[in-house]
Amino acid sequence: VFVNAVYKAKTVYREYIEGFVKMFSCICPFAGEEMWEKLGHNNSIAYESWPTFDEKHLVKNSIKMAISINGKTRDVMEFDADISQDEALSLIKQNPKLSSYIEGKTFKKVIFVKGRICNLVI
């Protein structure tokens, strides 16, 4: 995955490549050591610290949720990750793509699976 992203990118930061080589050296130590040397390091990669990461980048701030009416997907909307059913319904009612389906109608049932789907039964 990393190598494919490098091919597509116009520039790649040295820090990213060094992190990749550090992880790669656990699987292929000799190849990793040689790549580390090609990057201009004189010391062995075995004595380097493991790459670190920031956990806040692992958390999704927004989610895409399918909006179905009577079992048929009519739209996919993006919401905050921690949205409640009531907040989602108010945003769905404001959506112009869905207004023709739900305008002036009452919902018999609302099936809301957080982070996945909202199905409105009319």
What does the pLDDT look like over 25-84, one tens digit per residue? 999 999 999 999 999 999 999 999 988 888 887 887 899 999 999 999 999 999 998 899
Q: Tens of pLDDT along 90-108?
A: 999 999 999 888 888 888 9
38: which 2 tokens? 């090609």
How is 75-119 classified by DSSP, letter by letter?
EEEEEETT--HHHHHHHHHH-HHHHHHHTT---SEEEEETTTEEE
Q: Is 95 left (phi over 0), alpha (psi -120 to 50) or beta?
A: beta
The pTM of this model reads: 0.56
Domains of the chain: 2-52 (no CATH), 62-121 (3.10.20.590)
> Is pLDDT above 90 for 1?
no
DSSP annotation of 62: E
